[in-house]
């Protein structure tokens, strides 16, 4: 018999395809999608997973340039000493409370505002005006925190700042917001809302646009007003997206404020503005205390993991869906 006889796929004892065969078929079927995802996978490996080998420094007495790269693995093992030093320092309570409080304020105020903004945009009848509003709201996201911090310092300055001019015009006294412990956290929250509100609303706008319009038409015939439609149709329809975004926001709670705080804070507000990432930067980069700063960073990452797992479990319990 001429020609090549095609061999049948290999089956295990239960008659199903082997894991290797399933994996091969999967990659053949979705090879273009995997090629598109390849740059992201490489980026994650190079910048996220490969640097994790350096976490061993948290348990060693590594002295940086004096020992070189190989010293990361050959340095003296000191166990949990770096963690004990951090836990017994005055910075532990300060950093933990500041990081969680600032992130909590952003979660309470910034997270709902993005949803509300998306709901309001969805109700705009004029498509041209809607596009203009969307474009303007997205623009702050593309500004670096260096630029935003400069704008904030200019507007809030006691020497000619617009905000303080309004305060004095109404008979008040100038406030140096950037160096006042009572106001600094609120400056972070408000500037964070301004920077992220429009961009964060994109996901919700996309989710709302995918909801069946027949539900709104039926609700209108039944006499439901706009608020009732939002409460009974829109919000339940996007609750899974809200849950996923909430989990991601909580996961970034310990790491999402570095650029903002670093460009805005000063020694005058360290007590209320210093967070884990800014402290790790000073201890690791400025003071070259690599082992100690790695230990602090590792503790922060463990806290982030606990927050993500807890939030995911809560959203699943509430039947809102989670990441897993």
∠ Cα 140 146 148 (to 5°): 35
Residues in the chain: 324
Confidence class for position 10, pLDDT limits 50, 70, 90: low
The ranges assigned to domains in the chain are: 92-317
Q: Is the pLDDT of residue 94 over 90?
A: yes
> Nearest-CA neighbor of 322 among 251, 241, 255, 249?
241
Confidence class for position 127, pLDDT limits 50, 70, 90: confident
pLDDT for 32-56, tens place per residue?
998 999 999 999 999 988 888 888 9
pLDDT for 237-278, tens place per residue?
999 899 888 888 888 888 777 899 999 998 999 999 999 999
CATH topology of domain 92-317: MetI-like fold (1.10.3720)
- Dist. CA 64–CA 7, nearest whole Å: 58
Residue 274 has what pLDDT?
92
* DSSP class per residue in 84-132: HHHHTSTHHHHHHHHHHHHHHHHHHHHHHHHHHHHHHHHT---HHHHHH
pLDDT for 149-208, tens place per residue?
999 999 999 888 899 999 999 988 898 899 999 999 999 999 999 999 999 999 999 999
Residue 6 has what pLDDT?
47
pTM beyond 0.95: no
* DSSP class per residue in 49-81: IGGGGGGGGGGB---GGGTTTTHHHHSPB-TTH
């Amino acid at each position: 018999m001429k020609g090549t006889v095609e061999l049948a796929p290999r089956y295990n004892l239960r008659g199903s395809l082997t894991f290797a065969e399933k994996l091969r078929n999967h990659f053949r079927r979705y090879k273009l999608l995997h090629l598109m995802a390849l740059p992201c996978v490489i980026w994650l490996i190079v910048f996220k997973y490969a640097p994790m080998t350096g976490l061993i420094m948290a348990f060693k007495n590594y002295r940086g340039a004096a020992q070189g790269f190989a010293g990361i693995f050959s340095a003296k093992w000191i166990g949990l000493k770096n963690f004990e030093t951090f836990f017994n320092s005055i910075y532990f309570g300060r950093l933990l409370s500041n990081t969680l409080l600032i992130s909590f304020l952003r979660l309470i105020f910034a997270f709902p505002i993005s949803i509300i903004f998306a709901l309001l945009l969805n109700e705009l009848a004029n498509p041209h005006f809607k596009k203009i509003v969307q474009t303007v709201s997205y623009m702050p996201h593309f500004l670096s925190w260096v630029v935003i911090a400069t704008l904030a310092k200019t507007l809030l300055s006691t020497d000619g700042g617009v905000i303080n001019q309004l305060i004095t015009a109404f008979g008040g006294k100038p406030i140096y917001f950037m160096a006042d412990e009572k106001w600094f956290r609120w400056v972070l929250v408000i500037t964070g809302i301004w920077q992220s509100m429009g961009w964060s609303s994109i996901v919700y706008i996309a989710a709302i646009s995918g909801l069946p319009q027949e539900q709104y038409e039926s609700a209108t015939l039944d006499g439901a007003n706009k608020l009732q439609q939002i409460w009974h149709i829109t919000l339940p329809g996007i609750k899974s997206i809200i849950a996923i975004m909430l989990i991601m926001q909580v996961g970034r709670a310990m790491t999402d404020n570095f650029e903002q705080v670093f460009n805005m804070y000063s020694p005058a507000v360290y007590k209320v503005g210093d967070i884990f990432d800014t402290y790790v930067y000073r201890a690791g980069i400025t003071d070259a205390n690599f082992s100690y700063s790695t230990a602090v960073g590792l503790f922060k990452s463990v806290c982030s993991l606990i927050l993500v797992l807890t939030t995911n479990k809560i959203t699943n319990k509430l039947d809102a869906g989670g990441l897993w």
